[in-house]
Amino acid sequence: MLIPGHIDPVVTPRAITPRSDGRIDLMGLSHLQIRQLFEESQLDEKAAKLRSKQVFHWIYHRGVTDFESMTDISKTMRPWLADRFVIGRPEVVEAHVSSDGTRKWLLRTDDAQDYEMVFIPDADRGTLCISSQVGCTLNCRFCHTGTMRLVRNLTPGEIVGQVMLARDVLGEWPKGNMAFASADEDDDDDVGHYTADGRMLTNIVLMGMGEPLYNFDNVRDAMKIVMHGDGLGLSRRRITLSTSGVVPMMARAGEEINVNLAVSLHGVTKEVRDELVPLNRKYGIDELLRACAEYPGISNARRITFEYVMLKDKNDSDEDAHQLVSLIRQYKLPAKVNLIPFNPWPGADYECSDPERIKRFSSIVFEAGISAPVRTPRGRDIMAACGQLKSSSEKKSRAELDRLAEEKQVALG
Ligand code: SAH
Ligand code: SF4
């Protein structure tokens, strides 16, 4: 049984594992790690420093997957690299496009674990929803991922590989001398928009499978590459990490990753949140909201997003909406609320609130001066909603679901 702990509850594959042919996949490795590997492969210090910088740029900034395309590396050096290293991508098992333009991919790791990624194009932005784990140790009762056993954490390569793959598919690697927007771009608005070079993929949300703060190191290392000016060059303001409330890791997330924070609240009383998000029994609402108030860098320009899934007769009353407002006020949180219509799945215990109820809930929160938009369901025809990833074929009986929930609860202590 895997025991979720404060920091990193599950076994993580080593980031640097040679493949069966002995070559090492450079995907997900930092500049320093690539440099160290080159030194271990007998390049002298000066050459390792220069070559690692060039290779890092080609891999992450240009998106190349073969050493032959690295034109500023000598023709004799390229086969030397190809003999020792590869630049991988996640294997695509299935790719779907919804009638509304949403795309979903089922991906497979080298050890045959499946995980999913979704791209949601909007008029003013394109959001990629990526996974951090295969399955999840937590067991939120309304979440389909919660019904799966955690298989393992994704490596930095598998996390950053999702973004790289999306850029491949969307054809969004820079060509010629096309300039990237700087990673430090100084736009204080948190509304995404097409960048000057017309890219579709403008935003990333860690809202796919898994709890990112239970795979902290790998998520951090992957996001560092995504944000690096010579890497994928995405501003931290365009990245949002969603947590179910792993309180002990929130301050570190703010210090070491410092992307936008989303918190899956879903309930405003102990009773309801204990049921919906069992982690609440370990880290309660007050503790969670205190950690939110202390999250580095929050301001009216950079608010915390509270996700709130709308469940009929469970958490959707006027009283719930008023309580939500008073909690946000009590902790003086610069906050916005994302109301998510529940996306049903086979065997789920809940129903989605009626549209009228959701509207009423939203207007109560809005009237208190807090933005509370209702998230439009996207890609329903391909089961693409974030938080409902992984194929629907894995149906479990109610008894199995309860047993799994119980096991995970015991593990939480
Ligand atoms: N583990 C993290 C991130 C992944 S879940 C977290 O819980 O925050 C991403 C979001 O999708 C969460 O807010 C989650 O509560 C929501 N979600 C999960 N299942 C859902 C469903 N069936 N319908 C609507 N939203 C769901
Ligand atoms: Fe895990 Fe998030 Fe689903 Fe909860 S909502 S089970 S934390 S993926």
pLDDT of residue 98: 92
Q: Which ligand is nearest to the CA of 213?
A: 1
pLDDT of residue 389: 52
Q: Ligand 2: which residues within 6 Å by Cβ?
A: 136, 138-140, 143, 145-146, 210-211, 244, 264, 387
Q: Is 139 in the pocket of ligand 1 (CB under 6 A)?
A: no
**Which residue puts its alpha carbon closest to atom 22 of ligand 1?**
343
CB atoms within 10 A of CB 303: 19
Q: What is the mean pLDDT of residues 80-97?
A: 96
pLDDT of residue 82: 97
Residue 396 confidence class, pLDDT cut points 50, 70, 90: low
pLDDT of residue 11: 61
- Say what angle helices 318-330 and 285-293 make with each other, to 10 degrees: 50
Average per-residue pLDDT for the chain? 87
pLDDT of residue 398: 57
Across 184-208, b (16+ Cβ under 10 Å) vs e yields eeeeeeeebeebeeebbbbbbbbbb
Bridging pattern class, strands 152-153 and 133-134: antiparallel
pLDDT of residue 392: 47
Q: Which ligand is nearest to the CA of 378?
A: 1
Top mutation candidate among 129, 143, 243 for ligand 1, by most atoms within 8 Å of CB:
143
Q: Residues 199-258: pLDDT tens digits?
A: 789 999 999 999 999 999 999 999 999 999 999 999 999 999 999 999 999 999 999 999
Domains delineated in the chain: 24-87 (1.10.150.530), 91-172+196-382 (3.20.20.70)
Percent of the chain with pLDDT over 90: 72
CA 151–ligand 2 middle distance (angstroms): 14
Coil, strand or helix at 68: helix
Q: Is 295 in the pocket of ligand 1 (CB under 6 A)?
A: no
Checking if the pLDDT of 95 tops 90, the result is yes
**Which residue puts its alpha carbon closest to atom 4 of ligand 2?**
140
Q: Between these two residues, 2 and 140, which has the higher pLDDT value?
A: 140
Q: Which residues are catalytic?
A: 116, 386
Q: What is the mean pLDDT of residues 106-130?
A: 92
Q: What is the mean pLDDT of residues 16-21?
A: 84
Q: Specify the DSSP element, H or E, that contains 85.
A: strand 85-86
CA distances for 131 relative to 93, 175, 283, 392, angstroms: 15, 28, 23, 17
CA distance 295 to 72: 43
CA 136–ligand 2 middle distance (angstroms): 6
pLDDT of residue 323: 98
